[in-house]
Structure 1
Amino acid sequence: MEENRRRRSAQKSPRTERSERASARTRRRKPKKDYKFVKYKIYAFSVCLMLLAVVALIIPLRPKESSVEKRTLTKFPAFSVESFLNGEFLNGVSTWYADTFPFREALLTGNTKMRMAYGIRSSQIHGSIQTADDVPAKRIDLKDIILPISKEPMDKLMNDIRSAVATQEAANAANGGVKRRKITQVPEQVGTVYVAGDTGFSLYGFTQEAANQYIDAVSALANKVDSNVKVYDIVVPTSTGIYLDEKLQKDLGCSDQKESIQYIYDNMDDKVVTIDAFSALKSHSDEYLYFRTDHHWTALGAYYTYSQLMREKGKTPTSLADYETKVFDGFIGSLYSSSNQAPSLAENPDTVTAYIPLATNEMSFTDRDGVTMDYDIIHDVSDWEAGSKYNCFIGGDQPISEIKNPKLSDGSSCVVIKESFGNAFVPFLVDHYETVYVVDYRYYPEGLTALIRDKGIQDVIFLNNIAAATTSSLVSHIEEIVNY
């Protein structure tokens, strides 16, 4: 058979062989590229890059602040030979160039919309999910293993500490006043954002070390103040803990907020009165307690927690129907900016409803520059930009504020020690005290003990959302003003 094949091959004419060889070369030859078209694409791309570079160098087009992210953008770095040689200057220029790129927010929004076109997605996660600590049943502390016989020496030690604090405060006053601690800008922390439909959620992870830090700071203040001063602690769950079911929270890597709050309360000093905000909010979980585009709670959520505090104090909370209200539409908050400006959030803005106290709508605050000014407890922000409307409450985050109730003269007073969740809560207290003081621990430059003593404050109310209460960088500010 092989011999027959060779015989047929040998019988082929030269013309046939040439034809077969030409056909084989044709099959091996690759299609010729249109290099002219490729060249034009390269030219067009290069021109676009050059145009963008030129636009980016037009200084007047570069934004200085981000209304969406609520922050001041990076400034051009100061030049020095040392910073140039060690690379800090060029790194700073690179950061400035990217952070202040013209039309940056519009480009980010466009990028998010383009990604949405990849397919229909009803939920998304923006950011990485961090591994949280397990919530232990009980904190193991040296106090748990110290023999009861040590109680008396410990009490003596606490008295010595209080005496030393009083002596130092007197010395500071004699030297021309109390020193002021250094204050730095503290941005709102949102973290990883889960977007489901038109609602954003900030995912929460428990950190035991920070929780212990918070417990110790609040307990320390309770042991520093006089026995007639009542210290309350309110740890508020975020929307994730109230609105999302437990299985979904677990699948998303979230810690159980109820367990986290209970851990803090179980380990707090007995002198601290804890308020169960979780149960108060969970029982109304079908209501508008939290914003969809922002990590804060609404005034309605704050009202239910205020009512829980009043019941603990044996007082009757004011009915919601008795308040005059103000409504501000078009609020788009922090979850929008932290989700790469998810279109589903921007297309469904929130409504901010505020309740004006019955006694007064007047207050004063001292800002971070030390300037004191009069303001409204509930301020009209109808014309403010979309991301700032939560600031209708008590002038936003100020170092210290004071509210005088003209309808009371019984000497009653309280101080609320808070982060921004406290802003919507404070207005409800106004009708129950002659004076309400508000301290934002991130910006207050002095010590709490002296303030409580000098103002004759009777109730001290710590109010923090669970994420703030278990974030060490924030709790350290509470420690500073407690131990000042």
Structure 2
Amino acid sequence: MPESLKEFLGIEDDKKLKGTSNKNLNSKKIQKKRPSNATKSQDSNSKKSVSSKRNKVSKDKLKSGGKTNSGVKKKSGSRTPKNIEISSPSSTRKTKSSSSKINDSKKRMTANSSTVRMNKNSKNVEVKGKTKSNVKKNRKDINRKVNSNKRGSVRKKVSRDKNKKKPNILQLILYGIFVFFGFLITGGDKTKYISKEKKSEFDYRFHRNFSLVFIAFVIFVMVLNIIKPNAQTSVAENRDLQQRPKISTSKISDGKFASDYSKYMSDQFIGRSKFIKLKSKFDLLLGKKEINGVYIAKNDYLMEGFKKADDNVTNMKIDSINIFARSNPKLKVSVMVAPNKVEIYKHLLPKNIPVDSQVDYLNSIREKLDPKIKFIDLVDTFERNKNSDELYFKTDHHWTTDGAYLAYVEFCKKQNLEPVNIKSFDKSLASDSFRGSLYYKNGAQIGKPDSLHLYLTQANKPVIVKYYDTKLKVPSLYDVDKLDGRDPYEVFTGGNHTQIKIRTNIDTDRRLLLVKDSYANAMLPFLVDNFSEINIVDLRYFTGSMKDIIHNNDVTDVLLMYNVNTFNLDSSILSLNE
């Protein structure tokens, strides 16, 4: 088509048309972000109206040959631009101005066609020609809304975090219990019994609070150990406790001070006896039948086990006795080693207890003693009477007065003495709440209390008892004040002493030297009826000379009397010949 006709008709170049179409396409792409049926229909209607107007103008011009009459009527429904004026072909200037005006109107129409307006039920949305500025504004609006939404969500999270309740002390305690049992059941996998959301928070608070409480407890215990008074003895262990050692450069240099202070802290630790008792009771709950060397037997009996010492040690003790008998040929020497209840009442022990036979041990002693020495065997006598008489205390390692009387009778038979009839005594109950050494030694302090009886003479047989260590002389073999003490068995002679002399009014020349342990204390009330004088020596505490006692007191009879456990474990009898 010629350029003049294109200019006359107002048709633009193809490239320009493509540019405008591309612009329209871009505007459509932007509109795709908000798709709606109303906008699509209006876009299509606007395109049709613009194209119909262009075709109509071009047809009118072609029909008139480029001329239009001013009197031509406009068709109904057609829309013509306001500023377009159609002039006659006589004036070229007018045609030029009219064509320029048509071009301007065309440009306006193309610009107006890029804007779409929504009326009636649709919202008033306008897509303007300047799409870049509108996109920037839309992006700013979108960013503003997104930021406002983010702020709102953050505020909601903060408010939610504030509304979350922190776990209280009760929850932490329950959590600690769950941790403990969870460790026992699941091996410490806390996710099996608590949610993952609370696990980290609970762990932090629990471990922090536990650490603080533990540190406070350690400091509290240290302060109490410093300010509390020191205990002198341990009832549960029946021994003296370590006292605070004195500081000296020599003790510090050789390490003795550190060792003594460690023992002191161990012995004087606050609540030590209660911890021992608690531990022993826990052992019982676990089914243990032996606690601190004490067996929990049937019929409420508490028994110590027996493990015989090395044969060389036993042979040395027997040799010491044989040498003593050979050194004093005029003396009537006898040996009594009393069996313990672990041998006599062994049928009451729990099954499979590793206890050595005391019968075999006693037989080995008898076989190795000098034939001149009389060995007093009590096993057969005790076996015959164990069901009729209560020969041993259930909570103590000693025998009762009934057991002591049977041993006294067997001694009299060996030494050709007439034993006192049991009916000549009045059996009196001294205590019905006797708790002996094994009751305290087991730690748990279990066992029913025993009854302690005394055999008092009916006839008036005065005695004078002299204690060499305390310098006391008393007219009785009993110390009744000990019945209210920790060990009521000490009622006999007030307990153990280094040396005691008893004088009686018995008309006889026989004088007895008794080398003994605590078992002999309960037999003394019977022996005073057969000797005019009895000298008692406990080699565990005695530091004098046995020869002096024998020569100064005209001793005629010697009795070495021990229970099996003491003879087996104690080595004091090795000093018999010093």
Q: Same fold by TM (over 0.5)? A: yes
Q: Which of 445, 458, 462 is the equivalent residue of 2:556?
A: 458
CA RMSD in angstroms comes to 2.6
Q: Which of 284, 288, 295 is the equivalent residue of 2:385?
A: 284
Query: In the alignment, which residue of structure 1 is the partner of 2:438?
Result: 335
Q: d(CA) in 2 for partners of 1:448 and 1:311?
A: 26
Deviation at 1:373, TM superposition (A): 3.3
Deviation at 1:318, TM superposition (A): 1.8
Deviation at 1:214, TM superposition (A): 2.0
Q: d(CA) in 1 for partners of 2:548 and 2:283?
A: 54
**Count of aligned positions:** 379
Deviation at 1:432, TM superposition (A): 0.9
Cα 1:395–1:361 change in 2 (3 A) is farther
Q: Which of 499, 503, 519 is the equivalent residue of 1:404?
A: 503
Q: Which of 241, 258, 266 is the equivalent residue of 1:98?
A: 266
Contact 1:310 1:316 in 2 (8 A): yes
Contact 1:303 1:425 in 2 (8 A): yes
TM-score by length of 1: 0.73
Task: Indicate whether 1:219 and 2:322 are aligned.
Answer: yes
Deviation at 1:233, TM superposition (A): 0.4
Contact 1:293 1:335 in 2 (8 A): yes
Query: In the alignment, which residue of structure 2 is the partner of 1:230?
Result: 332
Contact 2:339 2:564 in 1 (8 A): yes
Matches within 5 A, 1:298-377: 298-326=400-428, 327-340=430-443, 342-345=444-447, 348-357=448-457, 360=461, 362-368=463-469, 371-374=471-474, 376-377=476-477
Q: d(CA) in 1 for partners of 2:418 and 2:463?
A: 23
Deviation at 1:250, TM superposition (A): 8.8
Q: Secondary structure of the residue that 1:425 maps to in structure 2?
A: helix
- Give the gaps of 5 or more residues in structure 2: 1-190
Query: In the alignment, which residue of structure 1 is the partner of 2:37?
Result: none
Contact 1:125 1:194 in 2 (8 A): yes
Query: In the alignment, which residue of structure 1 is the partner of 2:353?
Result: 252
Which amino acid is the alignment partner of residue 507 of structure 2?
A: S
Q: d(CA) in 2 for partners of 1:383 and 1:240?
A: 26
Deviation at 1:415, TM superposition (A): 1.4
Which amino acid is the alignment partner of residue 51 of structure 1?
A: F
Q: Which of 194, 204, 209 is the equivalent residue of 2:306?
A: 204
Q: d(CA) in 2 for partners of 1:359 and 1:272?
A: 35
Deviation at 1:450, TM superposition (A): 2.6
Deviation at 1:273, TM superposition (A): 0.7
Q: d(CA) in 1 for partners of 2:321 and 2:220?
A: 56
Query: In the alignment, which residue of structure 2 is the partner of 1:392?
Result: 491
Contact 1:206 1:470 in 2 (8 A): yes
Q: Which of 518, 524, 527 is the equivalent residue of 1:426?
A: 524
Q: Which of 41, 56, 61 is the equivalent residue of 2:225?
A: 56
Q: Report the structure, 1 or 2, having the larger helix content.
A: 2
Contact 1:63 1:100 in 2 (8 A): yes
Q: Secondary structure of the residue that 1:395 maps to in structure 2?
A: coil
Deviation at 1:399, TM superposition (A): 1.3
Contact 1:403 1:435 in 2 (8 A): yes
Contact 1:379 1:395 in 2 (8 A): yes
Cα 1:424–1:104 change in 2 (3 A) is same
Q: Secondary structure of the residue that 1:290 maps to in structure 2?
A: coil
Deviations 1:301-328 (A, max 9, x none): 1111111111223333222222133422
Deviations 1:394-421 (A, max 9, x none): 2211111111112x23222111110111
Which amino acid is the alignment partner of residue 405 of structure 1?
A: T
Contact 1:237 1:466 in 2 (8 A): yes
Task: Indicate whether 1:483 and 2:483 are aligned.
Answer: no
Cα 1:361–1:48 change in 2 (3 A) is farther
Task: Indicate whether 1:126 and 2:295 are aligned.
Answer: no
Q: d(CA) in 2 for partners of 1:383 and 1:313?
A: 33
Query: In the alignment, which residue of structure 1 is the partner of 2:538?
Result: 440
Cα 1:383–1:420 change in 2 (3 A) is closer
Query: In the alignment, which residue of structure 1 is the partner of 2:248?
Result: 80
Deviation at 1:383, TM superposition (A): 5.0
Deviation at 1:463, TM superposition (A): 0.4
Which amino acid is the alignment partner of residue 411 of structure 1?
A: D
Q: d(CA) in 1 for partners of 2:427 and 2:255?
A: 55
Query: In the alignment, which residue of structure 2 is the partner of 1:414?
Result: 512
- Structure 1 window deviating more from structure 2 (358-367 vs 283-292): it is 358-367
Q: Secondary structure of the residue that 2:394 maps to in structure 1?
A: coil
Identical columns (%): 24
Query: In the alignment, which residue of structure 1 is the partner of 2:208?
Result: 39
Contact 2:408 2:419 in 1 (8 A): yes
Which amino acid is the alignment partner of residue 237 of structure 1?
A: P
Greater C-alpha Rg? 2
Q: d(CA) in 1 for partners of 2:481 and 2:343?
A: 29
